């Protein structure tokens, strides 16, 4: 039996996904919370060269992040092929809500996603979702996940690399070399974070550069950090990190574009320095990030010594896998009509990956329900022909 150790933090959604995967495949493991144990954090960094979680040790192999492909290779199993009524791509608010409605219509459904929760997991505090005065993104998605777990459907943690239509069925290929067929598809794979676009950026991801403050924030207790961005997510992250870190530099390319409530919270913090009309031009460090260079609108550059940088500059739609399969707009978002229909019959889409203007959890969930009902209607009409 393999020895498996998971280094994680309490609120890290990707850590939770790794543990959900291992639990599902009945793999015993030891979980170590490096947000609470400084010595364990130092050991994790020594073993992996990473200042980011999760880190999974399988015997002598070090797996950085929630690497669904490698975990499937080690512990996954191939199931006999069957044709599903609905295949849902993505397990954020849109995908999970679509799953609930498909289950209520007694449709044979499978959800495929790299994680459960999607972008909503990144939210420190949600104050505009009906039924909750305030709830974290992680807690809200846990409630979505709990509801899905009571239903009769298959959920696979995997990454889709290709989709096509063959005869009357849609064929999906995953990175772990599984092939799945379905009569209809709901695309709800959400967005991915934008990058800074500076030299050496990839080198420092997980080594001082982070796209998930919820995951990695606890590792920067008492350290100096920066947050890049000027919207709601950036201000949320800056405020939360001000309670953990020694100091926070907020780097804003133009001006702050956040809601007044977040601006007020920002202004109440004494250890946050705001740099407006400024952008990052360089990242410095050896093994780990140790400083950044910023430049203002006058061309004046400044070096800031730091231990970590959190990127909160927006998102890009996860539509690379579609490759002409359905129509996209100039932002590479999936074009849908008012009832979540795409340009391909039998393919529906919902959530932030679509051309819908407002990117909100409650709107994504509502469109997920609409997409599921439209998929059911499509199946009923197809069966009657």
**Residues taking part in catalysis:** 212, 215-216
In terms of Cα–Cα distance, which of 117, 18, 8 is closest to 67?
18
Pairing of strands 154-157, 83-89: unpaired
The partner residues of 162 in beta bridges, in order of sequence, read: 173
In terms of Cα–Cα distance, which of 270, 273, 82, 114 is closest to 189?
114
At residue 261's C-alpha, the angle toward residues 294 and 231, to 5°, is: 35
DSSP 335: P
Which residues fall within 8 angstroms of residue 295, CB to CB, at 6 or more apart? Answer: 278, 279, 281, 301, 302
Give, in order, the Cα–Cα distances in Å from 381 to each of 237, 374, 385.
Answer: 47, 11, 7
115 contacts 13 by C-beta, under 8 angstroms: yes
Report the SS3 class of residue 371: helix
Whole-angstrom distance, CA of residue 17 vs CA of residue 157: 8
In terms of Cα–Cα distance, which of 373, 46, 51 is closest to 207?
51
Task: Copy the structure tokens of residue 69.
Answer: 């492909």
157 contacts 57 by C-beta, under 8 angstroms: no
12 contacts 20 by C-beta, under 8 angstroms: no
DSSP secondary structure, 236-264, as one string: HHHHHHHTTSSEEEEE-SSS--S-HHHHH
Whole-angstrom distance, CA of residue 98 vs CA of residue 261: 32
Whole-angstrom distance, CA of residue 119 vs CA of residue 279: 24
Strand order in the sheet with 4-8: 30-33, 4-8, 55-58, 61-64
């Amino acid at each position: 039996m393999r020895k498996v150790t998971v280094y994680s933090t309490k609120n890290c959604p990707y850590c939770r996904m790794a543990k959900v995967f291992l639990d599902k495949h009945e793999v015993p493991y030891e979980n170590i919370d490096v947000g609470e144990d400084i010595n364990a954090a130092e050991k994790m960094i020594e073993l992996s060269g990473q200042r980011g979680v999760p880190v999974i040790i399988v015997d002598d192999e070090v797996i950085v992040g929630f690497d669904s492909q490698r975990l499937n290779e080690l512990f996954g199993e191939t199931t006999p092929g069957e044709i599903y009524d609905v295949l849902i791509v993505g397990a954020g608010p849109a995908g999970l809500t679509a799953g609930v409605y498909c289950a209520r219509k007694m449709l044979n459904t499978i959800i495929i996603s790299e994680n459960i929760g999607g972008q909503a997991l990144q939210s420190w505090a949600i104050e505009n979702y009906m039924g909750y005065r305030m709830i974290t993104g992680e807690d809200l998605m846990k409630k979505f996940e709990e509801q899905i777990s009571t239903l009769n459907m298959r959920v696979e943690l995997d990454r889709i690399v290709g989709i096509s239509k063959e005869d009357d069925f849609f064929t999906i290929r995953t990175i772990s070399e599984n092939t799945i067929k379905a009569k209809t598809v709901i695309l709800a794979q959400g967005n991915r974070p934008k990058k800074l676009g500076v030299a050496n950026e990839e080198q420092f991801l997980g080594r001082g550069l982070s796209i998930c403050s919820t995951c990695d924030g606890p590792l920067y207790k008492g350290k100096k950090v920066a947050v890049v961005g000027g919207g709601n997510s950036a201000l949320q992250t800056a405020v939360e990190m001000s309670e953990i870190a020694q100091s926070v530099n907020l780097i804003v390319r133009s001006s702050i574009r956040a809601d007044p409530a977040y601006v007020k919270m920002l202004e109440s913090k004494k250890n946050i320095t705001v740099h407006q009309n400024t952008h990052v031009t360089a990242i410095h460090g050896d093994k780990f990030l140790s400083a950044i260079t910023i430049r203002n609108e006058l061309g004046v550059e400044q070096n800031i010594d730091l231990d970590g940088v959190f990127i909160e500059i927006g998102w890009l739609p996860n539509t690379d896998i579609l490759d002409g399969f359905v129509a996209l707009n100039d932002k590479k978002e999936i074009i849908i009509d008012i009832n979540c229909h795409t340009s391909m019959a039998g393919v529906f889409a919902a959530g932030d990956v679509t051309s819908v203007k407002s990117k909100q959890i409650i709107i994504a969930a509502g469109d997920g329900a609409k997409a599921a009902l439209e998929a059911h209607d499509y199946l009923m009409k197809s069966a009657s022909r």
